Amino acid sequence: MTVIVLTRCPAGLRGFLTRWLMEISPGVFIGGPSARIREALWLEVQQYADTGRALLAYTTDNEQGFTFETHDHKWHPIDHEGLILLRRPKAQPAPSTNTAPSNWSKAAKRRRYGQR
């Protein structure tokens, strides 16, 4: 079983994949091609995805029963003691909006923001 998920990819690429896989939802393709065809499809997806993202998941003989590959995703697969996990990027802290203007007195800042 093979699953390919496309996000923000050209419509032509989606049309190309429908020759080999069934599109069960917009951008989600599923099917059972051979390993050779799967690899050829994935190379085409990587080449023509442009600024879009793609994910390939397929069954294999391992502990999880499947494996996956990504193209231009923020989350990256890593091997952790034989299991493939997704590593999410560390979230960037939001800029603080609790900064008082520089011309405020210390007492006004304490009253407004609870700073000591």
> In this structure, is residue 80 part of a structural domain?
yes
Record the pTM. Answer: 0.73
Domain tally, the chain: 1
Higher pLDDT, 109 or 4: 4
> In this structure, is residue 98 part of a structural domain?
no
> In this structure, is residue 110 part of a structural domain?
no
Segment 85-113, tens digit of pLDDT:
888 888 776 666 666 677 888 888 778 77
- Contact of 1 with 58, CB cutoff 8 Å: yes
Q: What is the CATH number of the domain that holds 26?
A: 3.30.70.240
> In this structure, is residue 108 part of a structural domain?
no
Q: How far, in Å, CA of 65 to CA of 33, rounded? A: 17
Higher pLDDT, 56 or 96: 56
**Domain carrying residue 44:** 2-87
pLDDT at 109: 79
Q: How far, in Å, CA of 106 to CA of 103, rounded? A: 9
Nearest-CA neighbor of 70 among 58, 82, 54, 84?
Answer: 54
